[in-house]
A and B are shown apart, each in its own frame.
Chain A
Amino acid sequence: MTRSAIELKAEAKNLNFYYGPVHALKNINMPIERRKVTALIGPSGCGKTTFLRCFNRMHDLYPHNRYEGEIILYPDKINIISPEIDPIEIRMQISMVFQKPNPFPKSIYENVAYGLRVRGISRKGILDEAVEKSLRGAALWEEVKGRLNSLAVDLSGGQQQRLCIARALATGPRILLFDEPTSALDPTATSKIEELIIELKNEVTIIIVTHNMQQAARVSDYTAFMYLGEIIEFDKTDKIFTAPSNRLTEEYITGRFG
Protein backbone atom coordinates (compact mmCIF):
# COMPACT_ATOMS: atom_id res chain seq x y z
CA MET A 1 0.00 0.00 0.00
CA THR A 2 1.43 3.33 -0.96
CA ARG A 3 1.18 5.78 1.85
CA SER A 4 2.30 8.88 0.02
CA ALA A 5 -0.77 9.22 -2.16
CA ILE A 6 -3.33 9.36 0.61
CA GLU A 7 -4.45 12.39 2.52
CA LEU A 8 -4.46 11.62 6.23
CA LYS A 9 -7.16 12.78 8.61
CA ALA A 10 -5.80 11.03 11.68
CA GLU A 11 -3.13 8.60 12.64
CA ALA A 12 -2.64 6.41 15.70
CA LYS A 13 0.97 6.08 16.72
CA ASN A 14 2.05 3.56 19.32
CA LEU A 15 -1.34 3.85 20.94
CA ASN A 16 -1.84 1.91 24.15
CA PHE A 17 -4.89 2.03 26.32
CA TYR A 18 -5.54 0.75 29.83
CA TYR A 19 -8.75 0.22 31.78
CA GLY A 20 -7.05 0.39 35.16
CA PRO A 21 -4.90 -2.75 35.09
CA VAL A 22 -6.47 -4.10 31.87
CA HIS A 23 -4.23 -3.46 28.89
CA ALA A 24 -6.93 -3.18 26.22
CA LEU A 25 -5.06 -1.69 23.25
CA LYS A 26 -1.53 -2.68 22.45
CA ASN A 27 0.79 -0.61 20.31
CA ILE A 28 -1.66 0.43 17.70
CA ASN A 29 -0.37 2.13 14.59
CA MET A 30 -2.89 2.98 11.96
CA PRO A 31 -3.66 5.78 9.50
CA ILE A 32 -7.18 7.12 8.86
CA GLU A 33 -7.63 8.54 5.40
CA ARG A 34 -9.62 11.71 4.91
CA ARG A 35 -13.17 11.29 3.62
CA LYS A 36 -12.96 7.56 3.51
CA VAL A 37 -14.67 4.90 5.59
CA THR A 38 -12.42 2.84 7.79
CA ALA A 39 -13.94 -0.29 9.31
CA LEU A 40 -12.78 -1.98 12.50
CA ILE A 41 -13.57 -5.67 12.64
CA GLY A 42 -12.60 -8.51 14.94
CA PRO A 43 -14.01 -10.96 17.45
CA SER A 44 -15.92 -9.79 20.52
CA GLY A 45 -13.72 -8.25 23.18
CA CYS A 46 -10.82 -7.53 20.84
CA GLY A 47 -10.87 -3.79 21.52
CA LYS A 48 -12.79 -2.25 18.64
CA THR A 49 -15.04 -0.14 20.82
CA THR A 50 -12.13 0.79 23.03
CA PHE A 51 -10.14 2.00 20.03
CA LEU A 52 -13.06 3.92 18.57
CA ARG A 53 -13.78 5.72 21.84
CA CYS A 54 -10.19 6.95 22.02
CA PHE A 55 -10.88 9.20 19.03
CA ASN A 56 -13.33 11.40 20.91
CA ARG A 57 -11.93 10.87 24.38
CA MET A 58 -15.02 9.11 25.71
CA HIS A 59 -12.76 7.20 28.06
CA ASP A 60 -12.12 10.43 29.96
CA LEU A 61 -15.62 10.17 31.39
CA TYR A 62 -14.65 7.27 33.63
CA PRO A 63 -11.92 7.00 36.24
CA HIS A 64 -8.79 4.88 36.03
CA ASN A 65 -8.60 4.94 32.24
CA ARG A 66 -5.22 5.76 30.72
CA TYR A 67 -3.95 6.50 27.24
CA GLU A 68 -0.38 6.22 26.02
CA GLY A 69 1.04 7.25 22.68
CA GLU A 70 -0.62 9.52 20.13
CA ILE A 71 -3.54 9.94 17.84
CA ILE A 72 -2.60 12.81 15.57
CA LEU A 73 -5.43 14.81 14.04
CA TYR A 74 -4.64 16.40 10.70
CA PRO A 75 -4.21 19.02 9.40
CA ASP A 76 -3.70 20.67 12.80
CA LYS A 77 -1.34 17.96 13.95
CA ILE A 78 -2.64 17.99 17.48
CA ASN A 79 -2.50 14.88 19.60
CA ILE A 80 -6.11 13.98 20.37
CA ILE A 81 -5.29 12.00 23.48
CA SER A 82 -2.82 14.43 25.01
CA PRO A 83 -3.83 15.38 28.57
CA GLU A 84 -3.21 19.01 27.63
CA ILE A 85 -6.02 18.92 25.09
CA ASP A 86 -9.49 19.47 26.52
CA PRO A 87 -11.67 16.48 25.62
CA ILE A 88 -14.56 18.86 24.96
CA GLU A 89 -12.54 20.53 22.23
CA ILE A 90 -12.04 17.10 20.65
CA ARG A 91 -15.69 16.08 20.94
CA MET A 92 -16.71 19.30 19.27
CA GLN A 93 -14.92 18.05 16.15
CA ILE A 94 -15.32 14.29 16.41
CA SER A 95 -18.86 13.05 16.87
CA MET A 96 -20.14 9.64 17.70
CA VAL A 97 -23.11 7.41 16.93
CA PHE A 98 -23.67 4.61 19.39
CA GLN A 99 -24.68 1.00 19.10
CA LYS A 100 -28.12 1.52 20.56
CA PRO A 101 -30.01 4.58 19.37
CA ASN A 102 -29.95 7.01 22.28
CA PRO A 103 -32.08 10.04 21.45
CA PHE A 104 -32.82 12.44 24.29
CA PRO A 105 -36.39 12.29 25.61
CA LYS A 106 -37.05 15.60 23.89
CA SER A 107 -38.47 16.68 20.55
CA ILE A 108 -36.90 15.68 17.26
CA TYR A 109 -35.95 19.30 16.72
CA GLU A 110 -34.24 19.65 20.09
CA ASN A 111 -32.32 16.45 19.59
CA VAL A 112 -30.74 17.73 16.40
CA ALA A 113 -30.25 21.27 17.66
CA TYR A 114 -28.56 20.08 20.82
CA GLY A 115 -24.98 20.24 19.55
CA LEU A 116 -25.53 23.84 18.53
CA ARG A 117 -27.17 24.78 21.80
CA VAL A 118 -24.15 23.34 23.57
CA ARG A 119 -22.06 25.79 21.58
CA GLY A 120 -24.21 28.65 22.76
CA ILE A 121 -26.15 29.08 19.52
CA SER A 122 -29.81 29.88 20.15
CA ARG A 123 -30.87 32.05 17.20
CA LYS A 124 -33.92 30.37 15.79
CA GLY A 125 -32.99 31.02 12.17
CA ILE A 126 -29.60 29.35 12.51
CA LEU A 127 -31.01 26.41 14.43
CA ASP A 128 -33.87 25.86 11.97
CA GLU A 129 -31.46 25.80 9.09
CA ALA A 130 -29.02 23.44 10.80
CA VAL A 131 -31.80 21.09 11.87
CA GLU A 132 -33.15 20.82 8.34
CA LYS A 133 -29.73 20.40 6.80
CA SER A 134 -28.70 17.69 9.28
CA LEU A 135 -31.97 15.81 8.96
CA ARG A 136 -31.61 15.90 5.18
CA GLY A 137 -28.03 14.73 5.58
CA ALA A 138 -29.25 11.83 7.69
CA ALA A 139 -31.98 10.96 5.14
CA LEU A 140 -34.69 11.57 7.72
CA TRP A 141 -36.08 14.95 6.71
CA GLU A 142 -38.88 13.71 4.47
CA GLU A 143 -40.15 11.38 7.17
CA VAL A 144 -40.22 13.86 10.02
CA LYS A 145 -40.50 17.36 8.56
CA GLY A 146 -44.16 17.57 9.57
CA ARG A 147 -43.60 16.66 13.20
CA LEU A 148 -40.36 18.18 14.34
CA ASN A 149 -41.87 18.95 17.72
CA SER A 150 -43.00 15.44 18.54
CA LEU A 151 -40.97 13.24 20.82
CA ALA A 152 -37.92 11.54 19.36
CA VAL A 153 -38.54 8.32 21.28
CA ASP A 154 -41.75 7.78 19.34
CA LEU A 155 -39.75 7.21 16.14
CA SER A 156 -38.89 3.69 14.98
CA GLY A 157 -35.50 2.24 15.89
CA GLY A 158 -34.05 2.91 12.45
CA GLN A 159 -35.41 6.45 12.43
CA GLN A 160 -34.00 7.02 15.90
CA GLN A 161 -30.59 5.92 14.74
CA ARG A 162 -30.76 8.28 11.76
CA LEU A 163 -31.82 10.99 14.17
CA CYS A 164 -28.72 10.26 16.22
CA ILE A 165 -26.69 10.58 13.02
CA ALA A 166 -28.37 13.92 12.34
CA ARG A 167 -27.54 15.03 15.86
CA ALA A 168 -23.91 14.09 15.28
CA LEU A 169 -23.88 15.85 11.89
CA ALA A 170 -25.41 19.10 13.07
CA THR A 171 -22.19 20.52 14.38
CA GLY A 172 -20.21 19.77 11.23
CA PRO A 173 -17.82 17.17 12.62
CA ARG A 174 -14.57 16.32 10.90
CA ILE A 175 -14.69 12.68 11.91
CA LEU A 176 -17.78 10.61 12.58
CA LEU A 177 -17.45 7.51 14.73
CA PHE A 178 -19.96 4.65 14.46
CA ASP A 179 -20.01 1.81 16.97
CA GLU A 180 -22.03 -1.02 15.43
CA PRO A 181 -24.72 1.46 14.40
CA THR A 182 -27.00 -1.15 12.84
CA SER A 183 -26.74 -4.04 15.27
CA ALA A 184 -30.09 -3.14 16.85
CA LEU A 185 -31.87 -2.60 13.53
CA ASP A 186 -33.75 -4.69 11.00
CA PRO A 187 -32.36 -5.29 7.46
CA THR A 188 -34.29 -2.46 5.81
CA ALA A 189 -33.21 0.08 8.40
CA THR A 190 -29.69 -1.32 8.18
CA SER A 191 -29.40 -0.86 4.44
CA LYS A 192 -30.69 2.71 4.80
CA ILE A 193 -27.94 3.50 7.27
CA GLU A 194 -25.34 1.84 5.07
CA GLU A 195 -26.39 3.92 2.09
CA LEU A 196 -26.21 6.95 4.30
CA ILE A 197 -22.70 6.18 5.44
CA ILE A 198 -21.52 5.84 1.85
CA GLU A 199 -23.20 9.14 1.09
CA LEU A 200 -21.70 10.88 4.10
CA LYS A 201 -18.12 10.09 3.29
CA ASN A 202 -18.19 12.80 0.64
CA GLU A 203 -18.11 15.26 3.48
CA VAL A 204 -16.72 13.60 6.54
CA THR A 205 -14.17 11.00 7.55
CA ILE A 206 -15.81 7.91 9.01
CA ILE A 207 -14.64 5.15 11.30
CA ILE A 208 -17.08 2.31 11.86
CA VAL A 209 -17.02 -0.71 14.12
CA THR A 210 -18.98 -3.63 12.78
CA HIS A 211 -19.54 -7.30 13.43
CA ASN A 212 -21.00 -7.77 10.03
CA MET A 213 -18.41 -8.75 7.41
CA GLN A 214 -20.70 -7.94 4.49
CA GLN A 215 -21.31 -4.54 5.97
CA ALA A 216 -17.61 -3.85 6.27
CA ALA A 217 -17.11 -5.01 2.70
CA ARG A 218 -20.00 -2.89 1.44
CA VAL A 219 -19.33 0.42 3.09
CA SER A 220 -15.64 0.69 3.89
CA ASP A 221 -12.58 1.68 1.95
CA TYR A 222 -10.16 0.42 4.56
CA THR A 223 -10.50 -2.36 7.06
CA ALA A 224 -8.54 -3.11 10.19
CA PHE A 225 -8.73 -6.54 11.71
CA MET A 226 -8.15 -6.49 15.45
CA TYR A 227 -7.46 -9.34 17.78
CA LEU A 228 -6.68 -9.26 21.51
CA GLY A 229 -6.09 -5.53 21.52
CA GLU A 230 -3.79 -5.47 18.54
CA ILE A 231 -4.19 -4.57 14.89
CA ILE A 232 -3.43 -7.82 13.10
CA GLU A 233 -3.92 -6.49 9.62
CA PHE A 234 -4.86 -3.16 8.09
CA ASP A 235 -5.36 -2.62 4.40
CA LYS A 236 -7.69 -1.60 1.64
CA THR A 237 -11.00 -3.37 2.19
CA ASP A 238 -10.80 -5.18 -1.19
CA LYS A 239 -7.44 -6.55 -0.26
CA ILE A 240 -8.53 -7.70 3.21
CA PHE A 241 -11.56 -9.49 1.88
CA THR A 242 -10.00 -11.02 -1.24
CA ALA A 243 -6.41 -11.67 -0.33
CA PRO A 244 -5.67 -11.21 3.37
CA SER A 245 -2.05 -11.66 4.17
CA ASN A 246 -2.55 -12.90 7.71
CA ARG A 247 -3.89 -16.35 8.48
CA LEU A 248 -5.96 -15.06 11.44
CA THR A 249 -7.62 -12.44 9.30
CA GLU A 250 -8.52 -15.01 6.72
CA GLU A 251 -9.96 -17.36 9.31
CA TYR A 252 -12.00 -14.57 10.80
CA ILE A 253 -13.49 -13.21 7.60
CA THR A 254 -14.31 -16.66 6.34
CA GLY A 255 -16.14 -17.27 9.60
CA ARG A 256 -13.87 -20.00 10.90
CA PHE A 257 -13.43 -18.23 14.21
CA GLY A 258 -14.74 -15.29 16.14
Chain B
Amino acid sequence: MEDIKKRIKNIKLWNGIFSIVSLLSTFVGLVLLFALMTDLFMDGAPRISYKFFTSFPSRFPEEAGILSAWVGTLLLILVTAFAAIPLGVAAGIYLEEYAGKNWFTDIIEINIANLAGVPSIIYGLLALGIFVYFFKFGESVLTGGLALALLILPMVIMATREAIRAVPNSIREASYAVGATKWQTVKWHIIPYSTGGILTGIIIGLSRAIGETAPIITVGALTFIAFLPASPVSTEFPFISFKWLLDPFTVMPIQIFNWVSRPQQGFHVNAAAAGIVLLVMTLFMNAAAIYIRYRFRKKIKW
Protein backbone atom coordinates (compact mmCIF):
# COMPACT_ATOMS: atom_id res chain seq x y z
CA MET B 1 0.00 0.00 0.00
CA GLU B 2 2.75 2.41 1.04
CA ASP B 3 4.59 1.36 -2.04
CA ILE B 4 1.74 2.29 -4.36
CA LYS B 5 1.34 5.66 -2.68
CA LYS B 6 5.01 6.36 -3.14
CA ARG B 7 4.86 5.40 -6.78
CA ILE B 8 1.85 7.61 -7.44
CA LYS B 9 3.61 10.52 -5.76
CA ASN B 10 6.63 9.94 -7.94
CA ILE B 11 4.53 9.82 -11.11
CA LYS B 12 2.76 13.02 -10.09
CA LEU B 13 6.08 14.74 -9.52
CA TRP B 14 7.22 13.89 -13.04
CA ASN B 15 3.88 14.97 -14.36
CA GLY B 16 4.37 18.36 -12.75
CA ILE B 17 7.93 18.76 -14.00
CA PHE B 18 6.93 17.89 -17.50
CA SER B 19 4.03 20.34 -17.62
CA ILE B 20 6.27 23.14 -16.40
CA VAL B 21 8.90 22.37 -19.03
CA SER B 22 6.25 22.26 -21.77
CA LEU B 23 4.74 25.52 -20.60
CA LEU B 24 8.14 27.22 -20.60
CA SER B 25 8.93 25.96 -24.10
CA THR B 26 5.62 27.19 -25.42
CA PHE B 27 6.19 30.51 -23.73
CA VAL B 28 9.66 30.98 -25.21
CA GLY B 29 8.31 30.27 -28.68
CA LEU B 30 5.42 32.69 -28.26
CA VAL B 31 7.57 35.49 -26.87
CA LEU B 32 10.10 35.17 -29.68
CA LEU B 33 7.36 35.20 -32.29
CA PHE B 34 5.73 38.19 -30.68
CA ALA B 35 9.03 40.09 -30.51
CA LEU B 36 9.72 39.36 -34.15
CA MET B 37 6.30 40.51 -35.25
CA THR B 38 6.42 43.67 -33.17
CA ASP B 39 9.80 44.54 -34.59
CA LEU B 40 8.56 43.99 -38.13
CA PHE B 41 5.46 46.08 -37.53
CA MET B 42 7.36 48.93 -35.90
CA ASP B 43 9.70 49.08 -38.85
CA GLY B 44 7.32 48.50 -41.70
CA ALA B 45 3.84 49.62 -40.75
CA PRO B 46 4.33 53.36 -41.41
CA ARG B 47 5.38 52.58 -44.97
CA ILE B 48 2.20 50.72 -45.87
CA SER B 49 -0.11 52.83 -47.95
CA TYR B 50 -2.26 52.58 -51.04
CA LYS B 51 0.63 53.83 -53.12
CA PHE B 52 2.91 51.11 -51.77
CA PHE B 53 0.62 48.51 -53.39
CA THR B 54 0.26 50.34 -56.68
CA SER B 55 3.84 51.34 -57.41
CA PHE B 56 6.56 49.45 -59.17
CA PRO B 57 9.98 49.10 -57.56
CA SER B 58 12.19 52.14 -58.03
CA ARG B 59 15.65 53.49 -57.35
CA PHE B 60 14.15 55.77 -54.74
CA PRO B 61 12.92 53.98 -51.63
CA GLU B 62 10.03 56.40 -51.01
CA GLU B 63 8.64 55.81 -54.50
CA ALA B 64 9.16 52.06 -54.61
CA GLY B 65 6.21 49.70 -54.20
CA ILE B 66 5.27 46.06 -54.45
CA LEU B 67 2.86 46.08 -57.40
CA SER B 68 4.83 43.70 -59.59
CA ALA B 69 5.65 41.51 -56.62
CA TRP B 70 2.15 40.91 -55.29
CA VAL B 71 0.71 40.51 -58.77
CA GLY B 72 3.51 38.05 -59.52
CA THR B 73 2.86 36.09 -56.34
CA LEU B 74 -0.85 35.98 -57.09
CA LEU B 75 -0.37 34.74 -60.65
CA LEU B 76 2.21 32.23 -59.56
CA ILE B 77 -0.08 30.79 -56.90
CA LEU B 78 -2.83 30.61 -59.48
CA VAL B 79 -0.65 28.45 -61.72
CA THR B 80 0.51 26.40 -58.76
CA ALA B 81 -3.05 25.75 -57.62
CA PHE B 82 -4.26 24.82 -61.09
CA ALA B 83 -1.43 22.32 -61.48
CA ALA B 84 -1.05 20.90 -57.99
CA ILE B 85 -4.67 20.54 -56.87
CA PRO B 86 -6.07 18.26 -59.57
CA LEU B 87 -2.89 16.20 -59.79
CA GLY B 88 -2.41 15.88 -56.06
CA VAL B 89 -6.01 15.14 -55.19
CA ALA B 90 -6.39 12.61 -57.98
CA ALA B 91 -3.15 10.89 -56.99
CA GLY B 92 -4.24 10.78 -53.36
CA ILE B 93 -7.61 9.28 -54.25
CA TYR B 94 -5.98 6.76 -56.53
CA LEU B 95 -3.48 5.65 -53.90
CA GLU B 96 -6.08 5.32 -51.16
CA GLU B 97 -9.09 3.93 -52.95
CA TYR B 98 -7.95 2.30 -56.15
CA ALA B 99 -4.36 1.11 -55.95
CA GLY B 100 -3.83 -2.34 -54.54
CA LYS B 101 -1.36 -2.96 -51.78
CA ASN B 102 1.81 -4.26 -53.42
CA TRP B 103 5.52 -3.51 -53.72
CA PHE B 104 4.88 -0.97 -56.45
CA THR B 105 2.48 1.14 -54.42
CA ASP B 106 4.77 0.74 -51.41
CA ILE B 107 7.60 2.30 -53.44
CA ILE B 108 5.36 5.15 -54.58
CA GLU B 109 4.29 5.73 -51.00
CA ILE B 110 7.85 5.88 -49.65
CA ASN B 111 8.85 8.20 -52.45
CA ILE B 112 6.04 10.64 -51.82
CA ALA B 113 6.81 10.73 -48.13
CA ASN B 114 10.46 11.43 -48.92
CA LEU B 115 9.68 14.02 -51.57
CA ALA B 116 7.92 16.11 -48.95
CA GLY B 117 11.25 16.46 -47.18
CA VAL B 118 13.43 17.32 -50.17
CA PRO B 119 15.01 20.81 -49.92
CA SER B 120 13.05 23.27 -51.98
CA ILE B 121 16.03 24.33 -54.07
CA ILE B 122 16.18 20.82 -55.52
CA TYR B 123 12.70 21.41 -56.91
CA GLY B 124 14.04 24.62 -58.41
CA LEU B 125 16.82 22.73 -60.16
CA LEU B 126 14.35 20.12 -61.36
CA ALA B 127 12.06 22.80 -62.74
CA LEU B 128 15.01 24.56 -64.36
CA GLY B 129 15.95 21.37 -66.15
CA ILE B 130 12.47 20.32 -67.18
CA PHE B 131 10.47 23.50 -67.74
CA VAL B 132 13.16 25.98 -68.76
CA TYR B 133 15.65 23.88 -70.74
CA PHE B 134 13.52 21.00 -71.97
CA PHE B 135 10.04 22.46 -72.49
CA LYS B 136 11.45 25.96 -73.17
CA PHE B 137 8.82 27.72 -71.06
CA GLY B 138 11.44 30.36 -70.29
CA GLU B 139 11.97 32.09 -66.97
CA SER B 140 8.26 32.72 -66.74
CA VAL B 141 5.24 32.71 -64.49
CA LEU B 142 4.41 29.26 -65.88
CA THR B 143 7.79 27.82 -64.96
CA GLY B 144 7.72 29.34 -61.49
CA GLY B 145 4.18 28.18 -60.82
CA LEU B 146 4.95 24.66 -61.97
CA ALA B 147 8.10 24.56 -59.83
CA LEU B 148 6.04 25.46 -56.78
CA ALA B 149 3.40 22.94 -57.83
CA LEU B 150 6.06 20.22 -57.79
CA LEU B 151 7.11 21.41 -54.38
CA ILE B 152 3.68 21.21 -52.78
CA LEU B 153 2.45 18.18 -54.72
CA PRO B 154 3.61 15.70 -52.04
CA MET B 155 1.91 17.81 -49.38
CA VAL B 156 -1.35 17.85 -51.30
CA ILE B 157 -1.17 14.12 -51.94
CA MET B 158 -0.46 13.35 -48.31
CA ALA B 159 -3.18 15.67 -47.04
CA THR B 160 -5.66 14.06 -49.43
CA ARG B 161 -4.71 10.58 -48.32
CA GLU B 162 -4.95 11.46 -44.68
CA ALA B 163 -8.36 13.05 -45.16
CA ILE B 164 -9.58 10.01 -47.06
CA ARG B 165 -8.25 7.66 -44.43
CA ALA B 166 -10.33 9.48 -41.84
CA VAL B 167 -13.51 8.29 -43.59
CA PRO B 168 -14.58 5.22 -41.59
CA ASN B 169 -14.51 1.95 -43.43
CA SER B 170 -18.05 1.22 -42.28
CA ILE B 171 -19.19 4.05 -44.59
CA ARG B 172 -17.49 2.46 -47.58
CA GLU B 173 -19.03 -0.91 -46.75
CA ALA B 174 -22.46 0.67 -46.34
CA SER B 175 -22.14 2.15 -49.81
CA TYR B 176 -20.88 -1.00 -51.48
CA ALA B 177 -23.50 -3.12 -49.70
CA VAL B 178 -26.33 -1.53 -51.68
CA GLY B 179 -24.53 -2.13 -54.95
CA ALA B 180 -22.54 1.05 -55.47
CA THR B 181 -19.52 1.00 -57.74
CA LYS B 182 -16.15 2.26 -56.64
CA TRP B 183 -16.59 5.52 -58.50
CA GLN B 184 -20.04 6.10 -57.00
CA THR B 185 -18.62 5.51 -53.55
CA VAL B 186 -15.74 7.89 -54.20
CA LYS B 187 -17.93 10.56 -55.77
CA TRP B 188 -20.77 10.51 -53.21
CA HIS B 189 -18.92 9.68 -50.04
CA ILE B 190 -15.16 9.70 -50.06
CA ILE B 191 -14.69 13.07 -51.77
CA PRO B 192 -17.47 14.98 -50.00
CA TYR B 193 -16.50 13.69 -46.55
CA SER B 194 -12.82 14.41 -47.00
CA THR B 195 -13.17 17.80 -48.69
CA GLY B 196 -12.49 19.67 -45.45
CA GLY B 197 -9.21 17.88 -44.85
CA ILE B 198 -8.18 18.12 -48.50
CA LEU B 199 -8.89 21.86 -48.68
CA THR B 200 -6.99 22.45 -45.46
CA GLY B 201 -3.99 20.60 -46.87
CA ILE B 202 -4.18 22.52 -50.13
CA ILE B 203 -4.31 25.90 -48.44
CA ILE B 204 -1.44 25.10 -46.11
CA GLY B 205 0.54 23.89 -49.14
CA LEU B 206 -0.24 27.08 -51.06
CA SER B 207 0.65 29.29 -48.12
CA ARG B 208 3.98 27.50 -47.93
CA ALA B 209 4.44 28.12 -51.67
CA ILE B 210 3.82 31.85 -51.25
CA GLY B 211 6.83 32.17 -49.01
CA GLU B 212 9.22 30.06 -51.07
CA THR B 213 12.20 31.87 -52.53
CA ALA B 214 14.90 29.38 -53.43
CA PRO B 215 13.19 27.46 -56.25
CA ILE B 216 11.86 30.70 -57.72
CA ILE B 217 15.31 32.25 -57.89
CA THR B 218 16.66 29.05 -59.37
CA VAL B 219 14.20 29.10 -62.25
CA GLY B 220 15.20 32.69 -62.90
CA ALA B 221 12.65 35.05 -61.44
CA LEU B 222 13.95 38.59 -61.78
CA THR B 223 14.68 40.79 -58.80
CA PHE B 224 13.71 44.01 -60.49
CA ILE B 225 10.53 44.15 -62.54
CA ALA B 226 8.91 47.43 -63.40
CA PHE B 227 6.03 46.12 -65.49
CA LEU B 228 3.14 43.70 -65.14
CA PRO B 229 2.65 40.46 -67.05
CA ALA B 230 0.21 40.69 -69.96
CA SER B 231 -3.39 41.00 -68.89
CA PRO B 232 -5.33 37.74 -68.84
CA VAL B 233 -8.44 39.46 -70.21
CA SER B 234 -8.63 41.62 -73.29
CA THR B 235 -11.26 43.56 -75.16
CA GLU B 236 -10.64 41.69 -78.40
CA PHE B 237 -11.62 38.16 -79.36
CA PRO B 238 -11.08 35.61 -77.73
CA PHE B 239 -11.13 37.91 -74.69
CA ILE B 240 -8.90 35.77 -72.53
CA SER B 241 -5.21 35.51 -73.12
CA PHE B 242 -2.59 33.21 -71.71
CA LYS B 243 0.34 35.31 -72.77
CA TRP B 244 0.98 36.27 -69.12
CA LEU B 245 2.00 32.68 -68.48
CA LEU B 246 5.19 33.18 -70.44
CA ASP B 247 6.08 36.63 -69.08
CA PRO B 248 8.92 37.22 -66.63
CA PHE B 249 7.93 37.92 -63.07
CA THR B 250 9.00 38.59 -59.52
CA VAL B 251 7.37 37.60 -56.24
CA MET B 252 7.08 39.01 -52.74
CA PRO B 253 9.90 37.11 -51.05
CA ILE B 254 12.30 38.02 -53.85
CA GLN B 255 11.33 41.67 -53.64
CA ILE B 256 11.97 41.59 -49.91
CA PHE B 257 15.29 39.86 -50.43
CA ASN B 258 16.26 42.46 -52.99
CA TRP B 259 15.42 45.35 -50.69
CA VAL B 260 17.21 44.08 -47.61
CA SER B 261 20.38 43.54 -49.61
CA ARG B 262 20.51 47.27 -50.48
CA PRO B 263 22.56 49.58 -48.28
CA GLN B 264 20.00 52.42 -47.95
CA GLN B 265 17.88 52.45 -44.81
CA GLY B 266 14.79 53.41 -46.82
CA PHE B 267 14.81 50.09 -48.64
CA HIS B 268 15.01 48.21 -45.35
CA VAL B 269 11.80 49.91 -44.29
CA ASN B 270 10.26 48.85 -47.58
CA ALA B 271 11.40 45.29 -46.94
CA ALA B 272 9.76 45.29 -43.51
CA ALA B 273 6.55 46.67 -44.99
CA ALA B 274 6.53 44.02 -47.71
CA GLY B 275 7.25 41.44 -45.02
CA ILE B 276 4.13 42.52 -43.18
CA VAL B 277 2.09 42.14 -46.35
CA LEU B 278 3.50 38.67 -46.97
CA LEU B 279 2.88 37.69 -43.36
CA VAL B 280 -0.71 38.88 -43.51
CA MET B 281 -1.21 36.93 -46.74
CA THR B 282 -0.05 33.68 -45.16
CA LEU B 283 -1.84 34.32 -41.89
CA PHE B 284 -5.00 34.94 -43.85
CA MET B 285 -4.62 31.68 -45.72
CA ASN B 286 -3.97 29.73 -42.54
CA ALA B 287 -6.99 31.30 -40.93
CA ALA B 288 -9.01 30.22 -43.95
CA ALA B 289 -7.69 26.67 -43.53
CA ILE B 290 -8.68 26.61 -39.87
CA TYR B 291 -12.11 28.00 -40.64
CA ILE B 292 -12.74 25.45 -43.40
CA ARG B 293 -11.64 22.62 -41.17
CA TYR B 294 -13.94 23.84 -38.43
CA ARG B 295 -16.91 24.17 -40.81
CA PHE B 296 -16.51 20.70 -42.24
CA ARG B 297 -15.91 19.12 -38.84
CA LYS B 298 -19.17 20.59 -37.71
CA LYS B 299 -21.03 19.46 -40.77
CA ILE B 300 -19.80 15.88 -40.88
CA LYS B 301 -20.24 13.58 -37.93
CA TRP B 302 -20.18 9.85 -37.94
A residues near B (Cβ < 8 Å) are: 56, 58, 61, 63, 88-89, 91-92, 95-96, 98, 100, 102-105, 114-115, 117-119, 151, 153, 164, 167-168, 170-171
B19 located at the interface, meaning its Cβ lies under 8 Å from any Cβ of chain A in the complex: no
Question: Does the CB pair B177–A91 fall under 8 Å?
Answer: yes
Q: Quick one: given A118-B179, A118-B184, are A102 and B301 in contact (CB under 8 Å)? A: no
Question: Does the CB pair A168–B170 fall under 8 Å?
Answer: no
What are 15 of the A-B contact pairs (CB < 8 Å)? Answer: A58-B173, A58-B177, A61-B176, A89-B179, A98-B170, A102-B168, A102-B171, A103-B174, A104-B175, A105-B301, A114-B180, A115-B178, A153-B302, A168-B177, A170-B178
B133-161 interface bits toward A, Cβ cutoff 8 Å, 1 = contact, 0 = none:
00000000000000000000000000000
Shortest C-beta distance, A169 to chain B (Å), equals 10
Question: Does the CB pair A95–B189 fall under 8 Å?
Answer: no
Q: Which residues of A contact B173 (CB under 8 A)?
A: 58, 61, 96, 98, 102
Interface of B is mostly: helix
Shortest C-beta distance, A254 to chain B (Å), equals 34
Question: Does the CB pair A88–B189 fall under 8 Å?
Answer: no
Question: Does the CB pair A151–B301 fall under 8 Å?
Answer: yes
Shortest C-beta distance, A19 to chain B (Å), equals 14
Question: Does the CB pair A56–B193 fall under 8 Å?
Answer: no
Q: Which of B270-302 contact A (CB under 8 A)?
A: 299-302
- Please tell me the number of chain B residues within 8 Å of chain A, measured between CB atoms: 23
Q: Which residues of B contact A153 (CB under 8 A)?
A: 301-302
B181 located at the interface, meaning its Cβ lies under 8 Å from any Cβ of chain A in the complex: yes
Question: Does the CB pair A115–B170 fall under 8 Å?
Answer: no
B residues near A (Cβ < 8 Å) are: 100-101, 168, 170-181, 184, 188-189, 193, 299-302
Shortest C-beta distance, A166 to chain B (Å), equals 11
Shortest C-beta distance, B191 to chain A (Å), equals 13
Question: Does the CB pair B178–A104 fall under 8 Å?
Answer: no
Question: Does the CB pair B179–A92 fall under 8 Å?
Answer: yes
Question: Does the CB pair A105–B179 fall under 8 Å?
Answer: no
Question: Does the CB pair A63–B100 fall under 8 Å?
Answer: yes
Question: Does the CB pair A171–B101 fall under 8 Å?
Answer: no
Residue of A nearest to B174 (CB): A102
Max chain A Cβ within 10 angstroms of own Cβ: one of B100, B174, B178, B299 = B178
Q: Which residues of B contact A92 (CB under 8 A)?
A: 178-179
Q: Which residues of B contact A100 (CB under 8 A)?
A: 170
Residue of A nearest to B189 (CB): A104
Please tell me which one of the listed residues B101, B177, B178, B300 contacts residue A105 in the complex, with CB atoms under 8 A apart: B300
CA distance A56 to B184 in the complex (A): 18
Question: Does the CB pair A164–B174 fall under 8 Å?
Answer: yes
CA distance A89 to B178 in the complex (A): 10
